[in-house]
Amino acid sequence: MTASLFIDGAWSAGSGTRRGKIVNPATGQQISEVAFAEAADLDRALAAAERSFAGWRRTTAYERYQILTRAAGLVRERAETIATAITREQGKPLAEARMEAGATADFIDWYAQEARRAYGRVIPSRISGARQMTIAEPVGPVAAFSPWNFPCGQLVRKIAAALAAGCTIIAKAPEETPSCAIELVKCFEEAGVPAGVVNLVFGVPAEISGHLIPSPVIRKISFTGSVAVGRQLAALAGQHLKRTTLELGGHAPFIVCGDVDVAAVSALGAGTKFRNAGQICTSPTRYLVDDAVHDDFLARFAAIAEGLSVGDGAAAGTQMGPLAHSRRVDAIDGLVQDAVEKGARLVTGGRRIGNQGYFYAPTVLADVPLAARVMNEEPFGPVAVVNRFDGLDAALSEANRLPVGLGAYAFTRSSANAARLVDEIESGMVSVNHFGLAASETPFGGVKDSGHGSEGGSEGLEAYLAHKFVSQIGA
């Protein structure tokens, strides 16, 4: 496992001796280690990404489509190995890890096909005899930083989109969960991606971003993670005039109007909240429920939360696994204690489970005051706030109160309510009466402090393209 760096087509442990610990979050025990890249390794990756860009950008879209399609096939063949690695290092139940592996292959397929649709356009010219057009070109070598919550699913959005567009990439994958990232990159390697086009590194995150972003080789930055780190990387990218895609955190509102089927919506709401133990940037956090149905919704939601089977994600029957690392347990417990101190009602949960691994009980808080930190900071864990509202104005005002806007959910039988909610919620994505976010063919991204740019959909490829304008007379 120490040969975890993939630079210029070769696996190695890099030039240094620093290693990161890989821990199984279900036990808290170290299971392996991952090699960290040093500056010399990053310089080799930069040289490889620059050199190989000259050739990769000239491959035809059809060749890239063929290679990527082969990589998607390899991911499907190895889905069980990838899923097992995800669960072992990140903690989510195996069923969810299998879905992540499947979605990873889907994303590669989507971008393989999008590569063939990187159209330019012909523009009617005002100059007699001139032909004017745009040509889509790859923006250049990319530095990408992906997080541990979907260690394969987030990384693939960056690698597949960059490669499809004709860019080369240096990806820093999460140190906590390297094995599935390594498996994924092997699929690209074995599918025939030339040496240097994909490079995978791990290390001290700030050292790596501090080295790669200022490099003149890198033309594009893609980061998924917290708002705080996104701000730092955006500042550095701005200083060096690099294009960015930033997928940062959210604090998703989940608005439930008084006209819904409460049993169905509370079951959907609880199912979504506790998936991946709440460690999802679009995980609903603020359940804003019409006064008329609030108590019924809360009772049903809390009963589902209480009944969830929490345990090792590798064990049959587990519905919610541990948190991914110990600092998440401390963060969640701090938010819950703070809310209770400020007057919130703890309906269920609010405690760690067991004395090994990073387990925290599915937690439901009600009547939470706005001053509580959990109303203002993304919990990124298994905590739901179920508050009441009186009238849609109040719900919208609370939904839009925070500076972030990534995912939002709304449930109503009224088309007038739905239209208003869709129009007035300030978020990059809104899902009405179901959960419909994050498929490969749909754009995924936020507004306000949740970042900018999209991953997924045709917008996802666009992030890696520059449009050259050509105006030509004669020849």
Helix axes 94-115, 61-77, angle to 10 degrees: 170
Looking at the Cβ atoms of 223 and 359, the one nearer to ligand NAD is 223
Cα–Cα distance for residue pair 194/183, rounded to 1 Å: 17
At its nearest, how many Å lie between ligand NAD and the CB of residue 225? Answer: 3
Rule CB under 6 A: choose which of 106, 290, 378, 426 binds ligand NAD. 378
Q: Which helix (H) or strand (E) is 388 found in, with range?
A: strand 383-389
Q: Is 176 a catalytic residue?
A: no
At its nearest, how many Å lie between ligand NAD and the CB of residue 364? Answer: 19
* Binding status of residue 36 toward ligand NAD by CB under 6 A: no
Interaction with ligand NAD in 290-329: which residues (CB under 6 A)?
327
Looking at the Cβ atoms of 222 and 224, the one nearer to ligand NAD is 224
Helix axes 61-77, 79-90, angle to 10 degrees: 70
* Binding status of residue 247 toward ligand NAD by CB under 6 A: yes
* Binding status of residue 265 toward ligand NAD by CB under 6 A: no
Going from the C-alpha of 187 to that of each of 79, 109, 191, the distances in angstroms are: 11, 13, 6
Going from the C-alpha of 56 to that of each of 5, 47, 51, 244, 295, the distances in angstroms are: 21, 14, 9, 21, 59
Cα–Cα distance for residue pair 201/75, rounded to 1 Å: 20
* Binding status of residue 174 toward ligand NAD by CB under 6 A: yes
Q: Is 152 a catalytic residue?
A: no
Q: 356: which residues sit within 8 A by CB, 6+ positions away?
A: 27, 28
Looking at the Cβ atoms of 95 and 206, the one nearer to ligand NAD is 206
* Binding status of residue 248 toward ligand NAD by CB under 6 A: yes
* Binding status of residue 235 toward ligand NAD by CB under 6 A: no
Rule CB under 6 A: choose which of 36, 148, 254, 359 binds ligand NAD. 148
* Binding status of residue 96 toward ligand NAD by CB under 6 A: no
At its nearest, how many Å lie between ligand NAD and the CB of residue 321? Answer: 16
Residue 248, token pair as written in the block: 């940062």
What does the angle CA 185 – CA 186 – CA 187 come to, to the nearest 5 degrees? 90
At its nearest, how many Å lie between ligand NAD and the CB of residue 438? Answer: 10
Looking at the Cβ atoms of 227 and 425, the one nearer to ligand NAD is 227
Rule CB under 6 A: choose which of 209, 245, 276, 440 binds ligand NAD. 209
Residue pair 120/467 in contact (Cβ under 8 Å)? The answer is yes
Rule CB under 6 A: choose which of 53, 107, 110, 145 binds ligand NAD. 145
Catalytic one of 247, 377, 378, 462: 247
* Binding status of residue 407 toward ligand NAD by CB under 6 A: no
Looking at the Cβ atoms of 281 and 368, the one nearer to ligand NAD is 281
Looking at the Cβ atoms of 106 and 247, the one nearer to ligand NAD is 247
Catalytic one of 38, 100, 281, 462: 281
Give how many residues touch ligand NAD by CB under 6 A.
Answer: 22
* Binding status of residue 114 toward ligand NAD by CB under 6 A: no
At its nearest, how many Å lie between ligand NAD and the CB of residue 178? Answer: 11
Stretch that binds ligand NAD, among 18-26, 218-226, 349-357, 418-426 (CB under 6 A): 218-226
Residue pair 88/314 in contact (Cβ under 8 Å)? The answer is yes
At its nearest, how many Å lie between ligand NAD and the CB of residue 418? Answer: 27
Looking at the Cβ atoms of 50 and 207, the one nearer to ligand NAD is 207
Q: How many CA within 13 A on the CB side of residue 166? A: 21
What does the angle CA 217 – CA 218 – CA 221 come to, to the nearest 5 degrees? 175
Cα–Cα distance for residue pair 135/316, rounded to 1 Å: 52
* Binding status of residue 206 toward ligand NAD by CB under 6 A: yes
Cα–Cα distance for residue pair 187/142, rounded to 1 Å: 19
* Binding status of residue 334 toward ligand NAD by CB under 6 A: no
Rule CB under 6 A: choose which of 380, 389, 409, 464 binds ligand NAD. 380
Task: Return the HEC string of 254-305.
Answer: EEECCCCCHHHHHHHHHHHHCHHHHCCCCCEEEEEEECCCHHHHHHHHHHHH
* Binding status of residue 215 toward ligand NAD by CB under 6 A: no
Residue pair 260/358 in contact (Cβ under 8 Å)? The answer is no
Rule CB under 6 A: choose which of 32, 226, 326, 458 binds ligand NAD. 226
Q: How many CA within 13 A on the CB side of residue 451? A: 32
Beta strands in 146-256 (DSSP E): 169-172, 198-201, 220-224, 243-247, 252-256
Q: Where in the sequence numbering do the catalytic residues fall? A: 247, 281
Which residues are at the interface with ligand NAD (CB under 6 A)? 145, 147-149, 174, 205-206, 209, 224-226, 228-229, 232-233, 247-249, 281, 327, 378, 380
